[in-house]
């Protein structure tokens, strides 16, 4: 048999070998010379030292411990130089200068120049028709007189609120039982309010509200109120005899009036007809603050405590 169709072993085809990819080796950083590294550190240290020096220069100088007080600053209440805000000329981001002991003191003369701004506060009487608060100065540096025409309910509200402000209350009345225990209930002590007979006397040494509930003519010949004292006269019924009490009152409050009483008030304060008629239709919790040709309705708006203990007594 012929070997013509047989293939020699050396001639057998074999697949070509595929080269295996070789990953490149990571680059190795060259070593930094030691002298160059020392130079870089020296530059960084110099920059830090320069920044610290600038920060120290920006801080306020320390107060020398010489034992003597530092000089007072110019301006404000010490001298007549114009005042300049501490923030003036200071760049944003800087702190306030250190406090120098002694510079914040002021003499008695300088303190006398200080005065609060804004309107004078007083006892909160209630709110008006526009729901704005209505306050009255119950005690003043000069003697003050008030008058209330109606029941003693608004007077008891005023007395309770006066005690809350620290004002002493003295009541001179023919019905002492009506007021007995009122001060103890309101303050927890009997020293802030005293009840006296109509001709009684009271020693007044502090801001005081003196209430006189002695009849339609008002008090007979009461002592004149002094500074920081207010005399409040209650007229349960208004006749011509009570007109002088209304005329001398700095503040006059009335509850709902009869036609005759409204006519007296209208004549006394020269009110137009519509205002006089309005005095006959005042709501139970409202009093009218009357004056020359003026009427201002005030809602007393009793608090929960006032409503629980004093109630609401329409006239």
Q: Residue 193 falls within a domain, yes or no?
A: yes
Instruction: Give which of 268, 295, 292 is closest to 279, Cα–Cα.
Output: 295
Q: Residue 159 falls within a domain, yes or no?
A: yes
Structural domains of the chain, count: 1
Q: Residue 183 falls within a domain, yes or no?
A: yes
Can you tell me the distance from the alpha carbon of 56 to that of 85, in angstroms, rounded to the nearest whole number?
A: 24
Q: Residue 288 falls within a domain, yes or no?
A: yes
Q: What pLDDT is stored for residue 89 in this prediction?
A: 52
pLDDT digits (tens, 9 = 90+) for 184-219: 999 988 889 999 998 888 888 899 999 999 876 666
Q: Residue 200 falls within a domain, yes or no?
A: yes
CATH of the domain at 300: 3.40.50.300
DSSP string, 156-207: HHHHHHHHHTT-EEEEEES-HHHHTTHHHHHHSSSSSEEEE-TT------S-
Strand 286-291 and strand 251-254: the pairing is antiparallel
Q: What pLDDT is stored for residue 271 in this prediction?
A: 92
Confidence at 81, pLDDT banded by 50, 70, 90: very low
By mean pLDDT, which of 41-45, 266-270, 290-294 is the weakest? 41-45
Q: Residue 303 falls within a domain, yes or no?
A: yes
Beta strands in the chain (DSSP E): 123-127, 133-136, 144-149, 168-173, 193-196, 208-213, 229-235, 251-254, 286-291, 294-299
For residue 145, what are the β-bridge partners? 231
Q: Residue 41 falls within a domain, yes or no?
A: no
Q: What pLDDT is stored for residue 95 in this prediction?
A: 66
Q: What pLDDT is stored for residue 283 in this prediction?
A: 93
- Which residue range forms the structural domain that includes residue 199? 123-307
Q: What pLDDT is stored for residue 12 in this prediction?
A: 45
Across 231-249, average pLDDT: 92
């Amino acid at each position: 048999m012929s070997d013509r169709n047989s293939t020699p072993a050396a001639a057998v085809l074999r697949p070509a070998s595929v080269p295996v990819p070789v990953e490149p080796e990571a680059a190795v950083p060259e070593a930094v010379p030691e002298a160059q590294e020392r130079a870089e550190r020296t530059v960084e240290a110099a920059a830090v030292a320069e920044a610290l020096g600038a920060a120290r220069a920006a801080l306020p100088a320390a107060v020398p411990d010489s034992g003597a007080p530092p000089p007072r600053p110019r301006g404000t209440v010490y001298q007549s130089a114009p005042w300049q805000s501490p923030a003036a000329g200071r760049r944003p981001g800087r702190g306030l200068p250190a406090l120098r002991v002694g510079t914040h003191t002021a003499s008695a003369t300088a303190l006398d120049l200080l005065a609060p701004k804004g309107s004078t506060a007083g006892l909160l009487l209630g709110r008006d028709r526009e729901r704005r608060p209505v306050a009255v100065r119950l005690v003043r540096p000069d003697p003050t007189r008030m008058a209330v025409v109606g029941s003693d309910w608004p007077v008891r509200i005023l007395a309770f609120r006066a005690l809350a402000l620290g004002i002493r209350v003295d009541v001179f009345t023919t019905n002492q039982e009506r007021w007995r225990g009122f001060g103890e209930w309101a303050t927890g002590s009997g020293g802030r309010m005293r009840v006296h007979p109509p001709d009684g006397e009271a020693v007044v040494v502090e801001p005081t509200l003196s209430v006189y509930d002695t009849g339609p003519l008002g008090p007979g010949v009461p002592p004149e109120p002094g500074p920081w004292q207010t005399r409040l006269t209650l007229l349960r019924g208004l006749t011509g005899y009570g007109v002088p009490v209304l005329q001398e009152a700095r503040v006059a409050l009335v509850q709902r009036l009869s036609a005759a009483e409204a006519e007296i008030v209208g004549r006394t304060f020269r009110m137009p007809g519509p205002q006089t008629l309005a005095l006959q239709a005042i709501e139970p919790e409202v009093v009218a603050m009357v004056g020359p040709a003026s009427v201002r309705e005030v809602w007393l708006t009793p608090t929960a405590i006032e409503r629980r203990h004093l109630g609401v007594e329409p006239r």
